[in-house]
């Protein structure tokens, strides 16, 4: 159970350590600094969240809406060809086809989503258009592409030469299951620095923002598990699994093995735990523990990380494995990178 006294104590320590100056490069700080921060504020998964947060910050610092900020923010990794787990340049499925999953949710509980979308760079913007221009929440596959093209999105080839090369290399062994615990193997234990190259076969950007008016929104976008079965959909486009926002309470998003997140309706669970009084990190931890408790043997082999932001601007994260990190951007510091605490 969550211990309020311990939390109050750790918050006090965190507050006293919060004097971090402005910096253009990432400041690696220990997780206890995940303390309340003034709004506006944006947080997102992994180290590539830093650049994404900067784009979101452009909107938030000008007094813009959290929804606009998260869309703009996650477009950055979507366009980054070097990022092989999101958008353009994402690693393909086992048939060599890049398929994207994304969803977005605003302060009024409106949401939109696309799954298995091909040929479109900004899946997140298609998801937003589903939310704003249709009576539906989710479009998939050919229907999602048709909708995007009808609404002016450009059809492009998402498979870059680098990702095609990685896929062809994978085909040589063509192991059916993707490497689930890739972060733990590839990160240097002492720092959350990302290794270069195309070794990452999954990682999603999930972003949560609180704007100057105190409204929350979130976005989540990914090319999903590399070399997945064609047609496989992960947690990232599923409202309640990969992302959930409740403007009264807070928001949560996830990264890692989507199947486990879906089975536990992870992001919704994190928000509901915050409603019960759990601070963000404790809520993320409890959601991770549910996954571990149900399948302890499997949990050793996989990574799942949750990231949460409360209505008050408190934030926190927790993962099964080491190696998860998240980026935080606010008035004081636009480039924080925080190693997420983990069970293992």
Indicate which residue of 160, 204, 221, 222 is catalytic. Answer: 204
Is 234 among the annotated ligand-binding positions?
yes
- 286 touches ligand ASP (CB under 6 A): no
Site for ligand ASP in 82-111 (CB under 6 A): none
Is 256 among the annotated ligand-binding positions?
yes
Among 73, 89, 224, 316, binds ligand ASP (CB under 6 A): 224
Q: Which is nearer to ligand ASP, 236 or 330 (CB)?
A: 236
Q: Report the C-alpha gap between 20 and 27 in whole angstroms.
A: 8
- 264 touches ligand ASP (CB under 6 A): no
Closest contact distance (angstroms) between CB of 207 and ligand ASP is 13
Is 235 among the annotated ligand-binding positions?
yes
Q: Report the C-alpha gap between 276 and 249 in whole angstroms.
A: 10
Q: Which is nearer to ligand ASP, 90 or 280 (CB)?
A: 90
Is 328 among the annotated ligand-binding positions?
no
Among 258, 266, 279, 339, binds ligand ASP (CB under 6 A): 258
173 is catalytic: no
Place of tokens 């990232």: 236
Mask: binding to ligand ASP, 139-178, rule CB under 6 A, as x and -? ----------------------------------------
Pick the piece of the chain touching ligand ASP (CB under 6 A) from 88-96, 111-119, 128-136, 222-230: 222-230
CA angle at 17 for the pair 14 and 21, rounded to the nearest 5°: 130
Mask: binding to ligand ASP, 180-219, rule CB under 6 A, as x and -? ----------------------xxx---------------
Pairing of β 336-339 and β 27-28: parallel
Residue 32, φ and ψ in degrees, nearest 5: -60, -15
Which chain residues interact with ligand ASP by CB under 6 A? 202-204, 222, 224-225, 234-236, 255-258
Catalytic positions, written as ranges: 204
Annotated binding-site residues for substrate read: 232-235, 255-258
């Amino acid at each position: 159970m969550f211990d309020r006294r311990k939390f109050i104590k750790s918050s006090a320590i965190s507050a006293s350590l919060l004097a971090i100056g402005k910096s253009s490069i990432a400041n690696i700080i220990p997780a206890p600094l995940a303390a309340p921060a003034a709004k506006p504020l944006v947080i997102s998964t992994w180290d590539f969240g830093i650049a994404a947060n900067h784009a979101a910050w452009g909107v938030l610092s000008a007094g813009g809406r959290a929804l606009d900020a998260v869309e703009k923010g996650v477009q950055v990794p979507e366009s980054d060809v070097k990022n092989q787990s999101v958008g353009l340049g994402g690693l393909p499925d086992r048939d060599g086809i890049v398929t994207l999953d994304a969803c977005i949710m605003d302060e009024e509980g409106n949401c939109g989503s696309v799954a298995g979308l091909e040929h479109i760079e900004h899946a997140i913007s298609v998801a937003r258009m589903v939310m704003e221009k249709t009576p539906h929440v989710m479009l998939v596959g050919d229907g999602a592409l048709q909708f995007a093209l009808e609404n002016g999105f450009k059809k492009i080839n998402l498979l870059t030469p680098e990702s095609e090369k990685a896929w062809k290399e994978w085909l040589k062994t063509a192991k059916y299951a993707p490497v689930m615990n890739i972060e733990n193997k590839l990160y240097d234990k002492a720092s959350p620095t990302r290794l270069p190259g195309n070794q990452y076969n999954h990682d999603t950007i999930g972003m949560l923002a609180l704007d100057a008016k105190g409204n929350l929104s979130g976005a989540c976008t990914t090319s999903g598990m590399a070399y997945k079965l064609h047609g496989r959909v992960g947690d990232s486009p599923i409202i309640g699994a990969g992302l959930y926002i409740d403007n009264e309470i807070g928001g949560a998003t996830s990264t890692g093995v989507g199947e486990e997140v879906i089975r536990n309706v992870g992001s919704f669970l994190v928000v509901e735990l915050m409603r019960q009084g759990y601070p963000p990190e404790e809520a993320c931890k409890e959601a991770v523990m549910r996954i571990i408790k149900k399948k302890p043997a499997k949990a050793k082999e996989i990574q799942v990380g949750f990231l949460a932001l409360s209505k008050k601007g408190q934030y926190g994260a927790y993962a099964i494995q080491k190696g998860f990190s998240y980026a935080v951007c606010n008035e004081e510091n636009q480039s924080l990178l925080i190693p997420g605490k983990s069970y293992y």
